[in-house]
Amino acid sequence: MNRVSSPVATRKRGHRPTLRGAGTIAVFLAPALVLFVLLVLLPILVAGYTSLFKWNGFGVPENFVGIDNFTRAFGDSVFLGDLTRLLLLVVLSVVIQLPFSLALAMLLNQPLRGRAVYRVIFFAPYVLSEVTTAVLFTLVFSPDRGLGEQIAAVFGAEGVAVFADPATVIYALFFVVSWKYFGFHMVLYLAGRQSIPRELGEAAITDGASAWQTFRHVTLPLLGPTIRISVFLSIIGSIQLFDMVWVLTGGGPIHASETLAVTMFSYGFRRFEVGYASAISIIMFLLSLIFAIFYQRFVMRRDLEGAITTRGVQR
* pLDDT tens figures, 39-92: 999 999 999 999 999 999 898 999 999 999 999 999 999 999 999 999 999 999
> How far apart (Å, rounded) are the C-alpha atoms in residues 15 and 233?
43
Contact 277, 265 (CB under 8 A): yes
Q: What is the pLDDT of residues 109-133, one digit of tens each?
A: 988 888 899 999 999 999 999 999 9
Which residues lie across from 53 on neighbouring strands?
64
CA angle (36, 68, 240) in 5-degree steps: 40
Phi-psi region of 66 (alpha: psi -120 to 50; beta: other; left: phi over 0): left
> What are the φ and ψ backbone dihedral angles of 53, each rounded to 5 degrees?
-125, 155
Q: Reply yes or no on domain 78-301 having CATH 1.10.3720.10.
A: yes
Radius of gyration of the chain (CA): 26
* Full-model pTM: 0.84
Give me the residue spans of the domains in the chain: 78-301
Where b means 16+ CB within 10 Å and e means fewer, 64-80 reads ebeebbbebbeeeeebe
> How far apart (Å, rounded) are the C-alpha atoms in residues 241 and 15?
50
